[in-house]
Amino acid sequence: MAGPEFLDTEQGRKLAYHRTQGAGPTVVFLGGLKSDMEGTKAVHLEAWCAARGQAFLRFDYSGHGESSGTFEEGCIGDWAQDTAAALSALTTGPLVVVGSSMGGWQALLYARAHPERVAGLVTIAAAPDFTEDGYAASFTDAQWAAIERDGQVEMPSDYMEPYIITRRLIEDGRDNLVLRSPLPLPFPVRCLQGTADSAVSTETAVRLLEHADSPDMRLALVKGADHRFSDGPCLGLIEEAIVDIMGLET
């Protein structure tokens, strides 16, 4: 496979991306925290869209994958800027935005800011407001002390090496919360969530479902699926959700 192309943003960041030309709406994949566009779901959906003749975009946020910067420099707002820049420069027309984990939060931020571009939204183990409801809410006194003293703290992960969580990530996250104020999503939304997910709870998925205002929003709980949501049956469910939103037959 050919290497990525790169987009220079107004913020001076260089974003790596792969784009597949095809019919609209364009399917856009937004990955999770510390994930990159070479993950199973992103690559699978690219091949699936190519086989259908469907336009598709995957990219790395700054500090992720092959894009510029380091993870520790970034925050939710930076990655929202990256998303807006990539979708503005690299896509035209309506979008079906597929957001996984932190990418689900990014998808919601993009949809709130640019509802006119979004034909539909698919979330996979969406993690809106996780910096506040996950990290900040669970920090011990010692971890808060480390944040104050060092500007960062190391947090374990069940799915990869530990995360370095910075004060900036926490503080910026508070400026980008989506579950504390109205969240209009005037298009179809399909939310997928595994019951064996140790990173994002089913309660989070239900909270998003109850909070958002959408004319057609559904949540599917998949018994035994974990946070990766990337085995064969789960990938099939993602495909089905996209097709459902586009109103097409498989």
CA torsion angle 112 113 117 121 (round to 10): -30
Q: Is 157 a catalytic residue?
A: no
CB atoms within 10 A of CB 104: 31
Host H or E run for residue 221 = strand 216-222
Q: Give one DSSP letter per residue of 4-21, joined into a string.
A: PEEEE-TTS-EEEEEEE-
Q: Is 197 a catalytic residue?
A: yes
SS3 31: coil
Query: Which residue in the list 78, 100, 227, 230 is annotated as catalytic?
Result: 227
Query: Which residue in the list 101, 129, 172, 226 is annotated as catalytic?
Result: 101
As beta bridge partners, residue 154 has 164
Report the C-alpha gap between 142 and 237 in whole angstroms.
41
CB–CB of 72/63 below 8 Å? yes
- List all residues 6 or more positions away from 203 whose beta carbon is below 8 Å from its beta carbon: none
Q: Is 67 a catalytic residue?
A: no
Query: Which residue in the list 78, 197, 226, 230 is annotated as catalytic?
Result: 197
Active-site residue set: 101, 197, 227
